[in-house]
Amino acid sequence: MSATLQLIVYLVLLFLLAWPVARWMSAVMDGRFGWGVRIERVLFRMAGVRADMEHSWKSYAFGLLAINAIGLVAVYAIQRLQVFLPLNPEAMAAVSSDSAFNTAVSFVTNTNWQGYGGESSMSYLTQMLALTVQNFLSAATGIAVAIVLIRGFVRKSSSTLGNVWVDVTRITLWILLPLSLVFAVLMSAQGVIQNFKPYEKVATVEPVKWQTPVLSADGTPQRDAKGAPILAEQRSDTQTLAMGPVASQLAIKMLGTNGGGFFNANSSHPFENPTALTNFQQMLAIFLIPAALCLVLGRMVGDRRQGIALLAAMTTVFIVAVALATDFEQQGNAALTSLGVDAIASVTQPGGNMEGKETRFGINASALFAIITTAASCGAVNAMHDSFTALGGAVPMVMIQLGEVIFGGVGAGLYGMIVFALLAVFVAGLMIGRTPEYLGKKIEVFEMKMVALAILIVPILVLGGTAIAVVTEAGRAGIQDAGAHGFSEVLYAFSSAGNNNGSAFAGLSANSPFYKVLLAIAMWLGRFGVIIPVLALAGALAAKKRLTPSEGTLPTRGPLFVFLMIAVVMLVGLLNYVPALALGPLADHFAGFAR
Amino acid sequence: MQSNTQSMLSASYKDALRDAFVKLDPRTQLKNPVMFVVYVGSILTTILAAQSPSVFAIAVAIWLWITVLFANFAEAVAEGRSRAQASSLRGLKKKTWAKVAEGEVRQGASRDGLKWHPLEADSLRRGNTVLIEAGDVVPADGEVISGIASVDESAITGESAPVIRESGGDFSAVTGGTRVLSDWIIVRITVNPGETFVDRMISMVENAKRRKTPNEIALTILLVALTIVFLVVVGTLLPFSAFSVASAGSGQVVNLVVLIALLVCLIPTTIAGLLSAIGVAGMSRLLKANVIATSGRAVEAAGDVDVLLLDKTGTITLGNRQASAFIAAPQVPARELAEAALLASVADETPEGRSIVALALSQHRLALRTLTEINGKATDFTAQTRMSGVDISGEGVSERRLRKGAADAIARYVESLGAKMPVTVKTAVDEISRRGSTPLVVADGARVLGAIELKDIVKTGIRERFAALRNMGIKTVMVTGDNRLTAAAIAAEAGVDDFLAEATPEAKLKLIRTYQADGKLVAMTGDGTNDAPALAQADVAVAMNSGTQAAKEAGNMVDLDSNPTKLIEIVETGKQMLMTRGSLTTFSIANDVAKYFAIVPAAFVSTYPQLSALNVMHLSSPASAILSAVIFNAVIIVFLIPVALKGVAYRAVGAASLLRRNLLVYGVGGLIAPFVGIKLIDLLISAMGLK
């Protein structure tokens, strides 16, 4: 399928699906669904939750932090204890403490940075009970924060924002669970596996041969007279195929923009993403809720065009990014073409840069997937981003560095975009001579403080983390490539962690305790360092009067505002990273040309 | 006040230059966090340049200091201007003596029989009663409790015509510093020392630089946040560069001077350097319009006003009604009615009377004769008869008793003479009322000749002003005591969006609350004591200086010219202040793109020679590229001082087109300008052979 056609079909289907989902979500969040409320009531009574009691922003924040702190402990504990727990047919050992900590933080913060290989370290129970459950809860946390921020605009002179327990329950039970169920069935019908079987040993079509160094008693390679290591021939005609309940985890991994793969190869693994068609459906699943949430905003504030404006801004940046990345990848690798390699697409070959890409997806679907997964803070991958061309790989990195607001993580994308919108409104509002207001709420000193905090924290984490990594011995040890490309690997890792994306550039050996701890800190602060100011913002907005728009109000739904918002996202989001990008991908790219 | 502007201006620039150096005091610098970073950067580069002197390091250090000085200069120019205003105001506070009454003075008391002793005006307190006679200066703000006098208020308002101040009613307030020209008044002082208008004006001017408005604080937060981000960006570049050098094995680690230069170029120095100048200039613009605001907050709020309540009389219409038509009774020639009306009004000196004379003369080419020429005797208007007229008795002519007055008064008059008011005249009278005009009926003895229509005359140009307000997004509401019919007719003619008829103080208050409950900001003007509650409720309340003390205390602004349409200027000033800030912020941030293209390749080209591809401006050398960016960054502050002082022009064209225009000028302009500027400076530097 041509790249353009693929993108058009993708966007049309996305918007068609987002519309009913948005309708359903707003009904659920407002409690406008009779039968569900009745079922809930029983659950709340059993849990001792007073559903009619509303929380202030502080109590709400406390509740969310509590849910996530408990999640953190639970995920850590299950990983450490999995050897004693059931559903462990491969007898996986306890995960090491630093790795378990990193993974726990990663899944709680919706980052799903994976310092482990799923099929080689996690039991089925850990995958299901720890990781998949957290996939639901972290997604619910993000959506709840976005809903609360919307309520901040909708409510007037109110000190409360809703009930945190009710919100999280409703999001999980009535939004994430049904969607995941449908998607999991759809996926397993097309070949994604779902079982509890032990790993299967199968005979390979041809025997596989390879060599290993012969080790002496002390573990060092034995050397011959010339000093070359002595190698032993190895041969195998069987292969181990990892099994497991993949479809059920895959569904929420995509729908909740979590991105943590069941297998190490993530969505490039044939059991996790068997065909080009499942690939396309998975891409739709990633953007479904982020797109729908924009429309939910429009519905809840009573002006649908407001939501469409946000969606339009996101879509515009997205289209440009896809076009750029696809183009860069199709041009192929400058280093190879200079050696006379034919990289022109033809009947016999896809052309372009196929390194690190699955042949069943090809360049277009891989580039599109890369942009979607980085734009949406998902982090699932169907190709190796490290193997992209310098600029082709820079586009996904830029998507992450923009602050995960181009669709973004579920909830996180919307509240991040609203923070940018407030910034745009602030500057633009001043420019037309009025105290800035957005959706009827005045943006004053306290709001600006919170906006500033939310915008400050992530670049500090990303740049600060990268700086620590490149000055310390432990940090430098993990870098695979020399020069600019090596720098890109570190920058990408911290961009991914700080922005809660979770995708990896690869190339960087992040499996050391140094990276595990530092990245975990970046993930945690990058998540809650933004959520708390956003909740405070919601609280302050809810307490304000709601102004009716007049002729003099800055219109926040036309093309002009969409353009303005894109400009602010670009300027504020990207300017911070320009020097770093110059030392990474840009130097890398121009070096390619110089060669 | 504006007499010696020219000489003052050149003196103020000299003062400003001196102040720019005085402001290098770190305590002053600390007040502006963004410029403080530049200040610290200047000190650091100076030290670095002293340690290892090079042309480049010394040049950067000098230009960083110049950046700080330019920002100081901008602030000093604005302050110098307002200081000039303050000192001319202070001139009003000459040492004066007041005659203070001993003991209690009743309302309406005579000046005779009371004992007065002299007291210095500065020691007058609230509640003191003073006597002010012809030639005296009013010692402090107060309210006239007895007497009537003409007062010269030109010192405050710039209006040379004297005004009448008398006890009771809405013209009872006097302002300290004005001069009584004739007669005498007894005034009860309403302020304590340091609270008078002049004091408040001076303190407002002086405070403008110290106390930041809410919006200014919010903007400062944004600027500080950007500064912190760029501190991190530049701070982390040192390890990044060190790593790159080690890893690529070529080039040198980026120089500290370069990093500081990059930092100063990236942080929003342009807006930060001009921010306080914008605020001070805005306040002094308002003062020039003769409006005193109690706070900068009130001025900012004025920019957000959605609804404007205006009194009909004096604001929308001229204070007086004017004759617009004669409607003759059947069988009465129009000319006869006009002539009778003319004769009946010869002695009438009221504006209405004069307008009847003028209409009769112009419509029927009648000759104007004086009372003695027609041998007439005037009958004045009284509240009892509610009519006026002239009795003419001449030789050979039977005596004529010409009367004009309200319809019911004339009806009673002719009935008393045994006649009846014709039905057609009654219908005409009703019709006139329905049109929103006032009918007068003219009678010659017992014979009713017809009616005169007196119309409310809408001020010329007011319709256009309301249209301008509508374009700003402000809804205008006319408030009047007239009945609905009259009100509706005038509202339609004046082009207001809505009206409140038969308004009582309670109704006004209720209207304001209704709008506020809808989330609208309401502005109103008022002068009477009965306006005070509504003024206190309104978000922006402009009291007329001629109004009562109660009204002035309830409002948050006072218009010294007592011109109710002044609100439009206040709104524009408020908007201008915000627009200037927003536009320069946009400009400042947009500038960063070009600066990156200048500095980033220059800083890292030794490590990665391929990065010279980013040198899109083809700047001659890395050193000159960085220096050009620094110089541009400094010079742009001076270039924008006029914009900061004058303010970005406000046009009532609606929010979207205003935004489009300012985005184009300051956003796109801010993107392009530095590319051109930096390239030009680079050409200059290389032409001078500095590098």
Q: Convert the pLDDT of each residue in B526-554 to its tens digit.
A: 776 677 788 888 888 888 776 667 777 77
Residue A68 has pLDDT above 90, yes or no: yes
| Distance to chain A for B329, nearest Cα, Å | 50
Q: A341 and A279: one domain?
A: no
Question: Catalytic pick from B152, B311, B527, B539?
Answer: B311
Around A260, how many Cα atoms within 13 Å sit in the side-chain half-sphere? 38
Residue B350 has pLDDT above 50, yes or no: yes
| Distance to chain A for B381, nearest Cα, Å | 49
Structure-derived torsion over alpha carbons of residues B280, B286, B289, B291, reported in degrees to the nearest 10: -130
Tell me the average pLDDT across B358-381.
Answer: 80
DSSP classification of residue B329: P
- pLDDT at residue A277, rounded to an integer: 93
Q: What is the 3-state secondary structure (H, E, C) of B406-464?
A: CHHHHHHHHHHCCCCCCHHHHHHHHHHHHCCCEEEEEEECCEEEEEEEEEEEECCCHHH
Residue B208 has pLDDT above 60, yes or no: no
- Look up the domain containing A363 and give its range: 298-594
Q: A309 and A420: one domain?
A: yes
Residue B397 has pLDDT above 70, yes or no: no
Is residue A183 situated within a structural domain?
yes
Q: A442 and A523: one domain?
A: yes
Residue B467: other Cβ atoms inside 10 A = 13
A279, two tokens: 């690939």
Contacts of B115 (CB under 8 A, 6+ apart): B101, B102, B103
Instruction: State the pLDDT confidence band at A594, using cuts at 50, 70 and 90.
Output: very low
Cα(B155)–Cα(B159) distance, integer angstroms? 8
From A470, A586, A594, residue closest to B240, measured CB to CB = A470
Tell me how far the alpha carbon of residue B19 is from its chain's centroid. Answer: 29
Q: Are A535 and A450 in contact (CB under 8 A)?
A: no
- pLDDT at residue B202, rounded to an integer: 65
Using the 3D structure, point to which of A228, A263, A286 is the last residue of a domain.
A286
- The length of chain A is 595
Q: A163 and A74: one domain?
A: yes
Query: In chain A, whose CA is at the least distance from the CA of B660?
Result: A560
Of all residues in chain A, what percent carry a pLDDT higher than 90? 58
How confident is the model over A231-248, as pLDDT tens digits?
888 888 888 899 999 999
| Distance to chain B for A435, nearest Cα, Å | 6
Structure-derived torsion over alpha carbons of residues B191, B196, B199, B205, reported in degrees to the nearest 10: 120
Its ipTM equals: 0.89
> What is the CA angle A107-A112-A113, rounded to 5?
125
Q: Which of A103-107, A143-147, A577-581 has the lowest mean pLDDT?
A: A577-581
Count of structural domains within chain A: 2
Is residue A235 situated within a structural domain?
no
Q: A320 and A255: one domain?
A: no
**B671/B211: higher pLDDT:** B671
Instruction: State the pLDDT confidence band at B94, using cuts at 50, 70 and 90.
Output: low
CB contact under 8 A, A553 and B655: yes
How confident is the model over A151-193, as pLDDT tens digits?
999 999 999 999 999 999 999 999 999 999 999 999 999 999 9
Tell me the average pLDDT across A308-329.
Answer: 94
Q: A271 and A374: one domain?
A: no
Tell me the average pLDDT across A573-590.
Answer: 86
How confident is the model over A395-418, as pLDDT tens digits?
988 888 888 899 999 999 999 999
Is residue A233 situated within a structural domain?
no
Residue in the block written with tokens 């992530």: A458
Amino acid at B561: D
A-chain residues within 8 Å CB-CB of B474? 550-552
B-chain residues within 8 Å CB-CB of A428? 582, 659, 663
Instruction: State the pLDDT confidence band at B626, using cuts at 50, 70 and 90.
Output: very high
- pLDDT at residue B361, rounded to an integer: 85
Using the 3D structure, point to which of A264, A286, A308 is the last residue of a domain.
A286
> What is the CA angle B481-B484-B485, rounded to 5?
120
Residue A595 has pLDDT above 50, yes or no: no
A155, two tokens: 């409510």
From A423, A580, A582, residue closest to B611, measured CB to CB = A582
Cα(B127)–Cα(B142) distance, integer angstroms? 9
Cα(B355)–Cα(B166) distance, integer angstroms? 27
- pLDDT at residue A345, rounded to an integer: 67
Is residue A213 situated within a structural domain?
no
CB contact under 8 A, B229 and A567: no
Q: A261 and A326: one domain?
A: no
Nearest to A434 by CA among B467, B660, B576, B297: B576
Cα(A553)–Cα(A563) distance, integer angstroms? 17
How confident is the model over B464-522, as pLDDT tens digits?
888 878 877 788 898 887 778 778 888 888 888 899 888 887 888 899 989 888 878 88
Strands (E), A175-252: 200-213, 231-241
Residue B6 has pLDDT above 70, yes or no: no
- pLDDT at residue B203, rounded to an integer: 66
| Distance to chain A for B276, nearest Cα, Å | 16
Instruction: State the pLDDT confidence band at B396, using cuts at 50, 70 and 90.
Output: low
Instruction: State the pLDDT confidence band at A195, using cuts at 50, 70 and 90.
Output: very high
Q: Are A407 and B562 in contact (CB under 8 A)?
A: no
- B498 as an active site residue: the answer is no
DSSP classification of residue A127: I
CA dihedral sign of residues B545, B551, B552, B558: negative
Question: Can you state the angle between helices A304-331 and A362-375, rounded to 10 degrees?
Answer: 140
* Arithmetic mean of pLDDT over chain A: 90
Is residue A210 situated within a structural domain?
no
Interchain CB contacts (distance < 8 Å): A and B = 227
Q: Are A377 and A293 in contact (CB under 8 A)?
A: no
Is residue A229 situated within a structural domain?
no
Q: A254 and A303: one domain?
A: no
From B229, B660, B666, residue closest to A576, measured CB to CB = B229
Is residue A91 situated within a structural domain?
yes
- pLDDT at residue B405, rounded to an integer: 87
- pLDDT at residue B2, rounded to an integer: 43
Q: A337 and A272: one domain?
A: no
Using the 3D structure, point to which of A254, A286, A318 is the last residue of a domain.
A286
CB contact under 8 A, A435 and B578: yes
Q: A311 and A265: one domain?
A: no
Q: Which of A5-9, A341-345, A432-436, A581-585 has the lowest mean pLDDT?
A: A341-345
Residue B653 has pLDDT above 90, yes or no: no
Of all residues in chain A, what percent carry a pLDDT higher than 70? 96
A-chain residues within 8 Å CB-CB of B229? 455-456, 459-460, 576
Tell me how far the alpha carbon of residue B165 is from its chain's centroid. Answer: 25
Q: What is the SS3 assignment for B184?
A: strand
Instruction: Please name every residue paired with B151 in a beta bridge, in sequence order, or none if there are none.
Output: B163, B180
Is residue A3 situated within a structural domain?
no
Cα-only R_g, chain A: 24
Residue B103 has pLDDT above 60, yes or no: yes
How confident is the model over B312-348, as pLDDT tens digits?
776 777 767 788 888 888 888 888 888 888 888 888 7
Instruction: Please name every residue paired with A238 in a beta bridge, in sequence order, or none if there are none.
Output: A203
CB contact under 8 A, A552 and B520: no
- pLDDT at residue B159, rounded to an integer: 60
* Arithmetic mean of pLDDT over chain B: 83
CA dihedral sign of residues A453, A457, A460, A463: negative
How confident is the model over A558-571, as pLDDT tens digits?
899 999 999 999 88
CB contact under 8 A, B586 and A426: no
Most confident of A452-456, B91-95, B646-650: A452-456
- pLDDT at residue B563, rounded to an integer: 72
- pLDDT at residue B3, rounded to an integer: 43
Q: Which of A285-289, B63-67, B435-439 has the lowest mean pLDDT?
A: B435-439
Q: A381 and A255: one domain?
A: no
Structure-derived torsion over alpha carbons of residues B594, B600, B602, B607, reported in degrees to the nearest 10: -160
Q: A262 and A332: one domain?
A: no
From B218, B219, B519, residue closest to A545, measured CB to CB = B519
**A76/B359: higher pLDDT:** A76
